[in-house]
């Protein structure tokens, strides 16, 4: 099972348009602070996002965050803006291809 999940998210999917389901999609309005942070995320990272949305509390300044199954790092990049210089965000994923996308844009 692990190998098939890695193959699907790492090799078969090349963009969010390749997803075979919309089970994680929502019509709920995203808060302005999250939209603003996501607007600063690299286009390739956004295109390779296959997650279920981002829910984050208001007061993240200085926090340490662990994002499991971080994929291309979309949420990590957004959360990093919210934790600020004294905070820390670490993304972990099992797909090398997704991690490669995330790591390509560390300086973005």
How far apart CA 31 and CA 33 sit, in angstroms, is 6
Task: Look up the CATH number of the domain holding residue 90.
Answer: 3.40.50.150
How is 36-58 classified by DSSP, letter by letter? HHHTTS-HHHHHT--SS-----S
The parent domain of residue 99 ranges over: 2-104
How far apart CA 108 and CA 41 sit, in angstroms, is 8
Q: If DSSP codes are grouped into helix, strand and coil, which group holds residue 25?
A: coil
Number of domains in the chain: 1
Between strands 64-68 and 88-92, the pairing is: parallel
Length of the chain: 108
Q: What is the pTM of this model?
A: 0.79
52-85 pLDDT, tens per residue? 788 899 999 999 999 999 999 999 999 999 999 9
């Amino acid at each position: 099972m692990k190998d098939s999940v890695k193959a699907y998210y790492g090799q078969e999917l090349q963009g969010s348009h390749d997803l075979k389901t919309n089970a994680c999609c929502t019509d709920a309005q995203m808060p302005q602070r999250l939209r603003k942070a996501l607007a600063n995320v690299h286009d390739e990272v956004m295109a390779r996002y296959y997650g279920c949305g981002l829910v984050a509390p208001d007061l993240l300044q200085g926090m340490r965050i662990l994002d499991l199954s971080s994929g291309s790092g979309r949420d990590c990049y957004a959360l990093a803006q919210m934790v600020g210089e004294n905070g820390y965000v670490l993304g972990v994923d099992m797909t090398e291809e997704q991690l490669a996308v995330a790591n390509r844009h560390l300086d973005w």
